[in-house]
Amino acid sequence: MTAVIQQRPVRHSIGHWVTRARQSPGRIAIWLVLAIVSVGLMYPFYFMVMTSFKSETQYELGRGFSLASWTELFSSVPVAREIANSLGICAVSISCILVISTTAGFALAKTEFRGRRFTMLAIIGAMMIPVQSMIIAEYVNFSKIHIINTYAGAIAVYVAIGTPFATFLMSTYFRGIPEELIDAGRCDGLTYTGCFWRIAVPLAKPAFATVVVLQFIPIWNDLLIGLLFLQEPNVRTFTVGLGVLASSRVVNVPSLMAGSLLSTVPAAVVYVVFQRFLVRGLTLGAAR
């Protein structure tokens, strides 16, 4: 018979933890620095939450809570329409970026063609061009073809800005897929298109999630492009609506904080949903 020995959980005394602390002062210093940085990063969010549940008078007095700021926000800003505009633009822009970057990344990583190295250098060079240096030229060109104040104009700009980095990321990820898998698919009669759909795409889910997160957050929070290309009230994004609210002669700070808090929800949801793929998608291609 096998005796089953139940071990009691070990309870360490305060002296034990003090001894461990003395033995690892570097670790304690790191934790203290991280705690200080965390407090510094979380305080603006705390201020935003607390201020959003005050009226303007309560904010000036520094005490009391109410939902007056939320009522004011929904009465002065078409929140539902602007959030729908933002979500639609993000969804279409990211879908286009994924389609272009995935196909281009696979071609750059797994196929041989003349000018491949030059194409990759051009993509890296496009990543280094500041948005501010091209935005005026894009505005002039788009105004000539009459797509200012349309969803298509803003989506085209977001796709043009986000595609180079996404293509570089996808090509790096696809380069980490073993060549043996592609060769096996070719031996089974698959074309490169078949290898792309049946082998590469199913393995690239972490990279897809990474592109979604890294593109959704800047597109959702963008203000510059929205102010230039989406000036009409019926096509404004939520960030542009908050910018217009903040530019009024009298700024209602609690209402602005309520809008800012509401604006953080979609980005936080997207990050929470895809965060388990994020680090893997960023590092797996480079690690292999």
Q: Which residue has the higher pLDDT, 81 or 192?
A: 81
What does the pLDDT read at residue 98? 94
pLDDT of 285 over the 60 cut: no
Instruction: Verify that 52 and 85 share a domain, yes or no.
Output: no
- Tens digits of per-residue pLDDT, 44-95? 889 889 998 988 888 888 888 888 889 988 888 899 999 999 999 999 999 9
Instruction: Verify that 32 and 136 share a domain, yes or no.
Output: no
The closest alpha carbon to 245, from 128, 126, 72, belongs to 72
Instruction: Verify that 85 and 56 share a domain, yes or no.
Output: no
Count the domains in the chain. 2
Instruction: Verify that 156 and 272 share a domain, yes or no.
Output: yes
Report if residue 4 sits inside a domain. Answer: no
Report if residue 145 sits inside a domain. Answer: yes
Domain that holds residue 122: 78-287
Q: What CATH number has the domain bearing residue 91?
A: 1.10.3720.10
> Hey, is 237 helix, strand or coil?
coil
Q: Which residue has the higher pLDDT, 90 or 181?
A: 90
d(CA 91, CA 74): 24
d(CA 55, CA 67): 7
**Phi-psi bin for 146: left (phi > 0), alpha (psi -120 to 50), beta?**
left
**φ, ψ dihedrals at 4, nearest 5°:** -100, 115
What does the pLDDT read at residue 279? 65
What does the pLDDT read at residue 5? 46
Report if residue 18 sits inside a domain. Answer: no
Report if residue 16 sits inside a domain. Answer: no
Instruction: Verify that 274 and 136 share a domain, yes or no.
Output: yes
Instruction: Verify that 136 and 187 share a domain, yes or no.
Output: yes
Q: What is the mean pLDDT of residues 4-16?
A: 52
Q: What is the mean pLDDT of residues 252-256?
A: 87
Of 38, 70, 102, the position where a domain reaches its end is 70
Alpha-helix runs per DSSP H in 222-252:
224-229, 238-246
Of 40, 70, 100, the position where a domain reaches its end is 70
Report if residue 7 sits inside a domain. Answer: no
Instruction: Verify that 264 and 171 share a domain, yes or no.
Output: yes
**Burial group, residue 140, by CB count within 10 angstroms (0-12, 13-18, 19+):** exposed
Of 70, 101, 133, the position where a domain reaches its end is 70
Residue in this structure with the two tokens 């929140």, named with its chain if needed: 79
What does the pLDDT read at residue 245? 83
CA dist list (Å): 140 to 100, 112, 135, 146: 25, 38, 9, 10
- Tens digits of per-residue pLDDT, 135-176? 888 899 999 998 899 999 999 999 999 999 999 989 988 888
Report if residue 31 sits inside a domain. Answer: yes
What does the pLDDT read at residue 61? 83
Burial 20-58 (b: 16+ CB within 10 A, else e): eeeeeeeeeeeeeeeeeeeeeeeeeeeebeebbbbbbeb
Instruction: Verify that 127 and 87 share a domain, yes or no.
Output: yes
Q: Which residue has the higher pLDDT, 250 or 215?
A: 215
Q: What is the mean pLDDT of residues 203-221?
A: 89
Report if residue 14 sits inside a domain. Answer: no
> Is this prediction's pTM over 0.85?
no
Reported as a pLDDT band with limits 50, 70 and 90, residue 287 is very low
Instruction: Verify that 64 and 82 share a domain, yes or no.
Output: no
Report if residue 10 sits inside a domain. Answer: no
CA dist list (Å): 56 to 46, 65, 73, 246: 18, 10, 12, 14
Instruction: Verify that 112 and 243 share a domain, yes or no.
Output: yes
d(CA 46, CA 280): 30
Q: What percent of the chain has pLDDT over 70?
A: 88
d(CA 144, CA 50): 46
Instruction: Verify that 59 and 198 share a domain, yes or no.
Output: no
Burial 94-117 (b: 16+ CB within 10 A, else e): bebbbebbbbbbbbbbbeeeeeee
Which tokens belong to 48? 């935003």
Instruction: Verify that 94 and 64 share a domain, yes or no.
Output: no
Which tokens belong to 98? 């994924």
Reported as a pLDDT band with limits 50, 70 and 90, residue 184 is confident
